[in-house]
Structure 1
């Protein structure tokens, strides 16, 4: 690792520990020439290509994903740590599936699925940018879609609860 002070290429690691909930390794290094110390972080390199709407490709960046989620979650009950964990979870999921390419549409859908479980306001904010809402009708359609989905889930849970209650009474 090149020293940031004298540009010498050799250094020794003096301390190493996990950081960011195991998402990175923080290393303290000492330059073998000038003896100054500096810190480096080692993170997972997710070599996934993201295909943008215009057909071009760019490297996947967890920071960019995290920034987009953070913008949607601003002024909500979703903490910064929860956003970091969500971005990490999405990256880990892409790695476990050995994804090499993903479209912005697929990536956006993954984020929206997670945000819908976490915070509805963040979900709508993200959808607004991701789906390029043009007018209030787009917002209302998204809200009605969420409402219908939630009612469907509540109805399923009610049926399951009733089956559990009646099943318990039959015994």
Structure 2
């Protein structure tokens, strides 16, 4: 690992521990040349996930798109950002654990909605209204009735 301060490639690990709720490891390192310490995170490299869209096109899975949609749904809601990230981590782990390398966008959407339903009902309805493309008030009310019951 290259030192971010002096550029030396002679560094050593002083501490290593798993990161909670994540598939990564936090490592404290120290540079042998300049003596400065820094932290790195190692994440297990997984098989790339391909998303099959509604129009049957395929594209690379992009966590940033999921995060953007969920953050929009949670806008001005009392949900801690770390809870949102944990929920997305859980969904992502489920997707990667299925194997196969391909997943339908509908499946991702349903898993996100299940996670949002547990976090905040308002955020769930916001996400569902965009995801399910509610055409009128009736379909919106049907979704609200599901939550109320």
Structure 2 length normalisation: TM-score? 0.75
Do the aligned partners of 2:21 and 2:89 also contact (CA within 8 Å) in 1? Answer: no
Q: Distance in 2 between matches of 1:142 and 1:110?
A: 20
Query: RMSD of aligned C-alpha atoms?
Result: 2.7
The reply on whether 1:143 has 2:140 as its aligned counterpart is: yes
Q: CA deviation at 1:15?
A: 1.5
For 2:40, the equivalent position in structure 1 comes to: 40
Unaligned runs of 5+ in 2: none
For 1:164, the equivalent position in structure 2 comes to: none
Q: Report which of the two structures shows the higher radius of gyration computed on alpha carbons.
A: 1
Q: Deviations over 1:51-83 (max 9, x none)?
A: 44562412443x543343222112223322321
Do the aligned partners of 2:70 and 2:127 also contact (CA within 8 Å) in 1? Answer: yes
Report runs of 4+ in structure 1 exceeding 4 Å deviation. Answer: none
For 1:9, the equivalent position in structure 2 comes to: 9
Q: Deviations over 1:69-121 (max 9, x none)?
A: 22211222332232122111112212332241123332122212332343222
Structure 1 length normalisation: TM-score? 0.68
Q: Distance in 1 between matches of 2:88 and 2:16?
A: 24
The reply on whether 1:94 has 2:95 as its aligned counterpart is: yes
Describe the SS at the equivalent of 1:27. strand
Do the aligned partners of 1:48 and 1:102 also contact (CA within 8 Å) in 2? Answer: yes
Higher helix proportion? 1
**Which region of structure 1 is more displaced relative to structure 2, 48-57 or 89-98?**
48-57
Residue correspondence of structure 1 range 112-123 to structure 2 within 5 A: 112-123=113-124
Q: Deviations over 1:100-148 (max 9, x none)?
A: 1123332122212332343222122223443455x6x2xx244322234
Describe the SS at the equivalent of 1:30. strand
Q: CA deviation at 1:12?
A: 0.7
- Higher RCO by CA contacts (8 Å cutoff, separation 6 or greater): 2
The reply on whether 1:73 has 2:74 as its aligned counterpart is: yes
Query: How many pairs align?
Result: 146
Do the aligned partners of 2:10 and 2:31 also contact (CA within 8 Å) in 1? Answer: yes
